[in-house]
Amino acid sequence: MRRRTLLLLAAMVLLPAAIGWLVFFGAPLGMLGLETVQRHHSGATAGFGGLLPGNYARVLASPLYRRLLGETFKLAGLCALVSLLVGYPIAWGLRLAADWARRSKTAGSLGPVLVNVVVRSLGWLVVLGEFGLLNLVLRTLRLEADLSRGSRLRSELSELGSMVEVFFPLMVLALYGAVSKIDLAMIRAARNLGATRSRAFFEVVVPLSLPGAAVGVVTVFALATGAYITVAAFGGVRVRAMAEIAYEESSTLVNWQLGAAVLVVVVVSAGILLRLLFAGLRRADRDSAAGPAR
């Protein structure tokens, strides 16, 4: 009786969220999935009549798409990695800061999240653009020779840089969540037992913040995979990502079916990649905990 009341209560609490998820996430995703197995309207058959995996075949068979998929993941992975390296010292610095200083420092590092991605990305144009600040400085220093290749905007590096700038606050947020729970007495204990400052950091702080780092990497990797604006602004013709292709197929070429298939391929393969990453992490964790001498 009591158990049933509890179940009922749980259902009542979860129902609104479940409905919201279905309507706003499940349904569109399902429709997107359905779209992928339909032919382009210019094709011979349309509608549900010809359920064909043709769109997927086209995406996976194309060397261009395969290369772009690889590049997208490479870029997203690098972005997650660099964000981790940049975000870690910041999160740890916030942890160590005094209470009064923490508030302003948190605002300083997380404030950029409040600014629209478009604004932030375009802001970089001012710095890195052909007539931007960087080139101006170089020109003044008489280093024009380097400029002959034109704007330095369209390089992977500037794209990576701006993506890191856009996404690393999320990494800081995820890391800070984990790091803030670490009792500073742990570090004292480690040093008291003979660990140097850096040894204490790697033996105690890093393992304890691993869950936060994992959340941060997943978040940044997923968002960077779907990043469109920064890629569009900086990638130019040479660096392109799958999100841009999907947009192009859907909006410019009005081939929604192919665009959707591109997206599904990206989402599924990103999921597989993350799965592999975590399996590897868990294995490393188990090995270090149990040890080889068993």
Q: Is 193 in the site for another protein (CB under 8 A)?
A: yes
Q: Which stretch binds another protein (CB under 8 A): 39-47, 77-85, 141-149, 203-211?
A: 203-211
User: Token pair for residue 250?
Assistant: 């859907």
Distances (CA, A) of 218 to 43, 212, 238: 38, 10, 26
Locate 182 and state its tokens. 């670490």
* 212, 177 contact by CB (below 8 A): yes
Part in contact with another protein (CB under 8 A); list of ranges 15-23, 57-65, 196-204, 261-269: 196-204
Return the structure tokens found at 70: 């690889």
Residue closer to another protein (CB basis): 17 or 193: 193
Q: Is 201 in the site for another protein (CB under 8 A)?
A: no
Residue 102 engages another protein in binding (rule: CB under 8 A): no
CB of 189 to another protein, least distance (A): 4
Nearest Cα residue to 74 out of 264, 234, 218, 221: 221
- The yes or no reply on residue 291 touching another protein (CB under 8 A) is yes
DSSP string, 191-253: HHTT--HHHHIIIIIHHHHHHHHHHHHHHHHHHHHT--HHIIIIITTTS--HHHHHHIIIIIS
Helix then strand then coil, in percent of the chain rounded to 5, is 80, 0, 20
Residue 293 Cβ, how far from another protein at the closest point, in Å?
Answer: 6
Which of 50, 207, 271, 280: binder of another protein (CB under 8 A)? 207
Residues 6+ apart with CB under 8 A from 33: 260, 264
**Which CB, 38 or 209, lies closer to another protein?**
209
Please give the C-alpha separations between residue 23 and each of 17, 153, 211, in angstroms, as whole numbers.
10, 40, 31
- Of the ranges 64-72, 107-115, 161-169, 195-203, which one interacts with another protein (CB under 8 A)? 195-203
End-to-end Cα separation, the chain, in angstroms: 48
- The answer to whether 289 contacts another protein (rule: CB under 8 A) is yes
- Structure-token match 């629209």, residue found: 116
DSSP category for residue 291:
-
Minimum gap (Å) between residue 199 Cβ and another protein: 7
Taking CB under 8 A as the criterion, the residue among 84, 190, 213, 263 binding another protein is 190
The secondary structure element, H or E, covering residue 27 is helix 27-36
Q: Which is nearer to another protein, 78 or 208 (CB)?
A: 208
Distance CA 152, CA 135 (A): 8
CB of 101 to another protein, least distance (A): 17
> Is the Cβ of residue 79 or residue 178 nearer to another protein in the bound state?
178
Binding part of the chain for another protein, among 42-50, 63-71, 105-113, 197-205 by CB under 8 A, reads 197-205
Hey, what are 278's tokens? Answer: 């975590």
Size of the site for another protein (CB under 8 A): 20
Choosing from 125, 208, 214, 274, the residue that interacts with another protein (CB under 8 A) is 208
State the binding string over 149-188 for another protein (x if CB under 8 A, else -): ----------------------------------x-xx-x
Q: Which residues bind another protein (CB under 8 A)?
A: 183, 185-186, 188-196, 199, 203-204, 207-208, 289, 291, 293
